[in-house]
Amino acid sequence: MAVKEQVGLVVSNKMQKTVVVAVENRVSHQKYGKIVVKTKKYKVHDEEEKCQEGDRVRIQETRPLSRTKRWTVIEVLNS
């Protein structure tokens, strides 16, 4: 099975070794056809604590690290 990867924006880095990343998904409404932006927030493991708010990051799904953390930061794309 392939490993899931997504790109999102860091919206909070106030926890230790954890950041909150918002991932936008643009989908067409099934009936009306309008493009709708859906946002989902993930708690992501950041071992080196290198992410700042506003950074665009690539995240990867991993084993459960805590009750809510199932993703880890692969790389910081831009600051």
What's the pLDDT band for 32 if we cut at 50, 70, 90?
very high
- Match 């009936």 to its residue by tokens: 31
Residue 64 — φ and ψ, nearest 5°? -60, 125
pLDDT range class, residue 51, cuts 50, 70, 90: very high
Domain ranges of the chain: 5-78
Query: What tokens appear for 17 in the block?
Result: 């070794």
pTM of this prediction exceeds 0.85: yes
Superfamily for 5-78? Nucleic acid-binding proteins (2.40.50.140)
pLDDT digits (tens, 9 = 90+) for 64-78: 999 999 999 999 998
